[in-house]
Amino acid sequence: MTYRVCFVCTGNICRSPMAESVFRARVAEAGLDDRVEVDSAGTGGWHEGEGADPRAVGVLRDNGYEAGHTARQFDPSWFAGLDLVIALDAGHLRALRRLAPTERDAGKVRLLRSYDPGAGDDLDVPDPYYGDREGFEQCLEMVEAASEGLLAAVRERVEGRAA
């Protein structure tokens, strides 16, 4: 059975596509790409059908990640098919939990940086959209730091299902 993870930010052109690309690479490196499906979406539909922000694409490519992406808006009906919904900041977390049709679905929503033991108290990944490339590089660093812990949690769930 496939374990499904969806990363969610505001417009699905910066943070969540970066998280999707990084985590997809981690899943492949772990040999779990046949058992874990990774995608992303935005809480709003402002950028639906557009590619990722060129700065996000540049930072991803410069760091060896795939950067193909088409933005879309998260639909509450997706909860039924998802195992884990990863919010990039507290605002997304609240919005997604409000959209969740059931308490069980609301329980699927987690903050990405909650998987980074070095994150401290601030678990938000700041939106780099209104800044320069440096903000996108910092976003990538935060995503990479949290991806290892997230992968460990997903691996545990996937391997537990197979047992």
Q: Residue 163's pLDDT is what?
A: 44
Q: Which among 9, 24, 55, 89 is annotated as catalytic?
A: 9
Is 142 among the domain residues? yes
Domain hosting residue 132, numbered range: 3-157
Beta bridge partner(s), residue 5: 38, 84
Whether 15 sits among the annotated catalytic residues: the reply is yes
Query: Which one-letter DSSP state was computed for residue 88?
Result: S
Query: Residues 63, 138: contact at Cβ < 8 Å?
Result: no
The residues of the chain scoring below 70 in pLDDT are 161-163
Asked if 105 is an active-site residue, the reply is no
Structure confidence at residue 107 (pLDDT): 98
pLDDT at 160: 84
Q: What is the pTM of this model?
A: 0.97
Q: How many C-beta atoms lie closer than 10 Å to residue 90's C-beta?
A: 12
Determine which one of 15, 24, 26, 55 is catalytic.
Answer: 15
9 a catalytic residue: yes
Q: What pLDDT shows up at residue 143?
A: 98
What is the number of structural domains in the chain? Answer: 1
Catalytic residue among 4, 72, 97, 127: 127
Domain of 52, CATH number, reads 3.40.50.2300
Q: Is residue 75 included in any domain, yes or no?
A: yes
Q: What percent of the chain has pLDDT over 70?
A: 98
Helix (H, G, I), strand (E, B), or coil: what is residue 122? Answer: coil
Sign of the torsion formed by the C-alpha atoms of 81, 74, 97 and 117: positive
pLDDT given at position 161: 65
Structural tokens at position 10? 């505001």
Is residue 163 in a domain? no
Calculate the CA 98 to chain-centre distance.
Answer: 18
